């Protein structure tokens, strides 16, 4: 799953970066979402794979703090980019004649800058369910499955969701 995540997101980055027809706001944001998904997955999955392989759950305090910090940063950036992409789609659908004027390069850059070091703590339902629920209410297996869903499956699915149904990306 990690390799599919990396490959899919790298292919999107390569496609958007190399094709001048894809240099539009929608693909600009998709390019950045792919970068963030790579970073997000790389924050969690390699350590998880080492823990599975060695059957050890040990991590240093500094390692844990760094992992949590980068996890939160990339999760917030992911959420912001998804919101910005939703706004981009809204403008394209509801105001198609003004799309080029509204979604100018300056606004796109500003929206991307806003998405990137803002601090927002609105996370996915599984994240809230895992970390805010009491330890008695969820088994450790259910917490592990929920954690894998938002740390591995979601970044893996984004390239498929945003590119396979898109003629320009094909």
Q: Which domain holds residue 69?
A: 2-162
Contacts of 129 (CB under 8 A, 6+ apart): 138, 146
Tell me: pLDDT of 97 over 80: yes
Q: How many domains does the chain have?
A: 1
* 131 in a structural domain: yes
* 141 in a structural domain: yes
* 47 in a structural domain: yes
Instruction: Assign residue 145 the CATH number of its domain.
Output: 1.20.1070.10
* 170 in a structural domain: no
- String of b and e for 2-19 (b: at least 16 CB within 10 Å)? beebbebbeebbebbeee
* 113 in a structural domain: yes
Q: Which pLDDT score is estimated for 119?
A: 39
Residue 150 in contact with residue 124, Cβ under 8 Å? yes
- String of b and e for 123-141 (b: at least 16 CB within 10 Å)? beebbebbeeeeeeeeeee
* 106 in a structural domain: yes
* 6 in a structural domain: yes
Average pLDDT (29-47) is 90
Higher-pLDDT residue of 131, 157: 157
Q: What is the pTM of this model?
A: 0.73
* 9 in a structural domain: yes
CA nearest neighbour of 30 among 74, 72, 78: 78
* Tokens, residue 152: 């591995």
Q: Which pLDDT score is estimated for 125?
A: 52
The rounded mean pLDDT for the chain is 80
């Amino acid at each position: 799953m990690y390799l599919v995540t990396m490959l899919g997101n790298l292919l999107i980055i390569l496609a958007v970066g190399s094709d001048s027809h894809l240099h539009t706001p929608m693909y600009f944001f998709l390019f950045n979402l792919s970068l963030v998904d790579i970073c997000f997955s790389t924050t969690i999955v390699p350590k998880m794979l080492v823990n599975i392989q060695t059957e050890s759950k040990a991590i240093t305090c500094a390692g844990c703090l760094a992992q949590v910090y980068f996890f939160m940063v990339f999760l917030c950036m992911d959420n912001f980019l998804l919101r910005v992409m939703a706004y981009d789609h809204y403008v394209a659908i509801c105001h198609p004649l003004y799309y080029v004027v509204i979604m100018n390069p300056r606004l796109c850059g500003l929206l991307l800058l806003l998405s990137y070091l803002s601090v927002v703590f609105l996370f996915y339902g599984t994240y809230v369910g895992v970390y805010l629920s009491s330890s008695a209410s969820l088994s450790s297996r259910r917490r592990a499955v929920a954690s894998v869903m938002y740390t591995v499956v979601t970044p893996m699915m984004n390239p498929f969701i945003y590119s396979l149904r898109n003629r320009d990306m094909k």
